[in-house]
Homo-oligomer: A and B are copies of this chain.
Amino acid sequence: MREVTLKHIAEILEISVATVSKALKDYPDVSAKTKKRVKELAETLNYKPNSFAVNFRTRESKTIGLIIPEVVHHFFSNVIKGIIAQAEKKGYLVIILQSNESYQLEKKQLGLLVSKRVDGVLMSLSNDTVDYKHINNVLDRDIPLVLFDKTAKLINCSKVIIDDRKAAFIATEHLIRSGCKHIAHFRGPLLPLNSIDRFLGYKKALETYDIKYDPSLVYTCNEVTFEEGYNFTQELINTQKRVDGLFAVSDLVAIGAIAKLNELKIKIPEQISVIGFSDWLMSSAITPSLTTIGQPGYLMGKKAFKRLFVEMAKIRKKQPFKYKTIELPTSLIVRNST
């Protein structure tokens, strides 16, 4: 079965390829009668434009690229879902690449997407990324790019984020208001802005409520895993320090902590209150259910695509535009661990 082309239709109808093309695209300068004939035949023959030819001609692929640090991650899965849903609605397809939290991979993948000529890029930085040349390079080539969740202040482009500092402040404040006075923090890696901001929000809350900041109550989770939460909790308990609250950088870490506390028969929240961050699927299912900060992953994906869509249109039409930072609200979800 040969692929049907404009030429076939033109030959059958004994008109030119140009007219067929214009008829199908409803150009005003084609007679209604011709349009009708062309469209009907196209329908009958089940004509589908050759997208390779269309891409080539129009210099558009109607495809965007997405680079994400880790696909197997409740929050990021939700972001992905939001992005593909919104993209599909607008006729765009999404190519997904995983940077594995590696700067080298991220750089390489961005190169792949550019050489594939995606119409735009959505990305969340890897924890490893310290240098932004690869990103500025894309921006300089007038390829729209929007960052989400893990961003960097020094990159000048549109961003969709939450206010990590404020959310962490609220989380810590919630512990303080529930009566905690000795609050530990299992923070994220030193580099990404999110974990810095969450740490700063924690410190700020202590300061606001006149609680002395004690650096020995802060542990750094480089991998942000269950095991780190589990092990650091043991270490924390071993120090024999007074601790009555714990703010963990993510639910997974908090759940690790809860597992260890349960094991040690330390009562939650009576002896130690625990709060996480992100609201993972499982957080309401564990015992005790985890108080946490709700982070709108699906919405973030949706908004990120929407912004990208706007910028793709602007660039296509060579219209000037300003970068925007869109901040999404978070929520305190109180459950039984505090």
Contact = CB atoms under 8 A, between A and B. Distances in A.
A73 to B, nearest CB: 8
Give me the 9 closest cross-chain CB pairs, A-B, nearest first: A282-B282, A52-B56, A72-B77, A56-B56, A71-B81, A52-B55, A93-B95, A255-B285, A48-B115
Contacts of A259: 285, 287
Interface string A276-315: 0000111011110000000000000000000000000000
Contacts of A1: 141
B72 A81 contact: yes
Interface in A158-201: none
Nearest to A141: B1
B71 A74 contact: no
Nearest to A282: B282
A63 interface: yes
Contacts of A117: 50-52
Interface string A81-94: 10011001000011
Contact of A80 (B88, B96, B109, B255): B96
A133 to B, nearest CB: 14
**A48, A96, A97: residue with the most chain B Cβ atoms closer than 10 Å:** A96
B116 A51 contact: yes
Interface in A226-280: 226, 252, 255-256, 259, 262, 280
Interface of A: 1, 48-53, 55-56, 59, 61, 63, 71-74, 77-78, 80-81, 84-85, 88, 93-98, 109, 112, 115-117, 141, 226, 252, 255-256, 259, 262, 280-282, 284-287
B285 A262 contact: no
B94 A96 contact: yes
A119 to B, nearest CB: 12
Given A72-B81, A262-B287, A95 B98 contact: no
Nearest to A88: B97
B77 A97 contact: no
A280 B74 CA distance: 12
Contact of A286 (B51, B72, B96, B286): B286
A253 to B, nearest CB: 11
Contacts of A50: 56, 117
A80 B63 CA distance: 18
